Amino acid sequence: MSLNAESTAFRSALEVIRAVEPRVADAIGAELADQRESLKLIASENYASPATLLAMGNWFSDKYAEGTVGRRFYAGCQNVDTVEALAAEHARELFGAAHAYVQPHSGIDANLVAFWAILADRVESLALKKAQVRQVNDLTEADWFALRRELGNQRMLGMSLDAGGHLTHGFRPNISGKMFDQRSYGTDPATGLIDYDKVAEAAREFKPLILVAGYSAYPRKVNFRIMREIADSVGATFMVDMAHFAGLVAGKVFTGDFDPVPHAHIVTTTTHKSLRGPRGGMVLCGPELADQVDRGCPMVLGGPLPHVMAAKAVALAEARRPDFAGYAQRIVDNAQALAEGLTRRSAKLVTGGTDNHLVLIDVTGYGLTGRQAEQALLDSGIVTNRNAVPQDPNGAWYTSGIRIGTPALTSRGLGTAEMDQTAELIHTVLSQTTSGESKAKYVLDPALADKVSKQASELLAGFPLYPAVDLG
């Protein structure tokens, strides 16, 4: 029987790699086997399509292409121009954005590009007002620093890390918290929800240059219309980092007030989470910030990765297909089924549930730290990650939470019935694990961990991962 195209492609690729360094070929094969075997609930991971994966493994990797489409610092970029323009076009169409910049290598890179663009735009506006120069690049170094001092306000207000924000939204130890004078907003201690009046109050007091919305561990929707009104009321630039929920925006699950694109001045994202593309980042904005954003490389970023931009174009084309909306809705249906299943079994959830792709379990309800729970689940074939909960008593390393998300299992085809079974497996492990002599140590009967691992494998057996890929 002849092999299908995917199996032939991956088998041939591994054969070529094996001839040079067999251990790499073995590791690639082992990674597929591990991913097939584990119940992957990491909220920020997914499974890109074979077409997306294959678009990355080619000679586009050999090309330098600093600059932008049609304006490169290197010759011979006509084919890179083709894929970069395609990726940007798909992104604009998918999200209804005026401008898309598809070069960032990651979410952090995308955020750095946005910070640069906002700051440069403000300085340039000030320079223009004084009729000093036409664009920021024409400023002398002395004028640039003088104008930055005159601008004064380099303050960022973002969601705090323990409330579910991201490191790059002004967390003090991160570069965002060092480049900017930062303050953060949290969530209401009683409900776990964003209190927009409190955000408005903080904005009035702090008068940030940038108001950031977006999260990596907040299990609810954010009203971006209200956030924009808050930003406007203090003259702040409104930035949304939609890395976690970009797939829900693309799939039109988050619309109206919950779609950041019509409300934010600038939107950043990764491409590999709920959006299900290759590892990478992207920036969307209106015409006002487009020129500064396009200076991302080489201003902030190293040379673009044309092979990844090719894969972004493929994945974004996939996300524009009608079936992606169904996928996005199933992600949320599954997360809600998982939340309900856990709640029914007495798990304590931050905010009591979810309306996006993730659920945050407060594992102090099981007498555990996040680290103990994460390892106990891993022993049982369930891959999650520990995460701080609001006002976390165990800090950002040990934490008190477990973050679980459904984009990956939904890609595999699991539905709400399987989410209930997943909730049962998680609850079984957590309720049978006891705290050890330190915040990292725990006691779990290995026989129980084995039993749950087998049950997880049985659950997954009906939903083969990459069914078209047979490595032999």
Contact residues toward ligand DSN (CB under 6 A) are 44, 107, 166, 216
Distance from chain centroid for Cα 237: 21
Q: Annotated catalytic, 273?
A: yes
Q: How far is the CB of 19 from ligand DSN (least distance, A)?
A: 35
Closest CA to 169 of 222, 125, 121: 222
Nearer to ligand DSN (CB atom), residue 402 or residue 444? 402
The C-alpha atoms of residue 186 and residue 158 are separated, in whole angstroms, by 9
Nearer to ligand DSN (CB atom), residue 216 or residue 410? 216
**Catalytic one of 220, 273, 295, 330:** 273
The C-alpha atoms of residue 377 and residue 371 are separated, in whole angstroms, by 10
Nearer to ligand DSN (CB atom), residue 147 or residue 360? 360
Q: Annotated catalytic, 181?
A: no
Nearer to ligand DSN (CB atom), residue 182 or residue 387? 387
Q: Annotated catalytic, 138?
A: no
Q: How far is the CB of 85 from ligand DSN (least distance, A)?
A: 27
For residue 367, the tally of other CB atoms under 10 A from its CB is 14
Closest CA to 54 of 307, 271, 273: 307
Closest CA to 258 of 213, 216, 192, 324: 213
Length of the chain: 472
Q: How far is the CB of 38 from ligand DSN (least distance, A)?
A: 16
Q: How far is the CB of 217 from ligand DSN (least distance, A)?
A: 7
Which residue in this structure is represented by tokens 């998300």?
405
Give buried/exposed letters for 215-236 (b at 16+ CB in 10 A, else e).
bbbbbbbbbbebbbebbeebeb
Residue nearest to ligand DSN (CB): 44
Q: Annotated catalytic, 269?
A: no
Nearer to ligand DSN (CB atom), residue 10 or residue 171? 171
**Catalytic one of 6, 124, 241, 362:** 241
Q: What is the largest CA-CA distance in the chain?
A: 75
The C-alpha atoms of residue 267 and residue 197 are separated, in whole angstroms, by 23
Contact 315, 48 (CB under 8 A): yes
**Catalytic one of 18, 63, 148, 279:** 279
Q: How far is the CB of 46 from ligand DSN (least distance, A)?
A: 11
Tell me which residues are annotated as active site: 64, 66, 241, 270, 273, 279
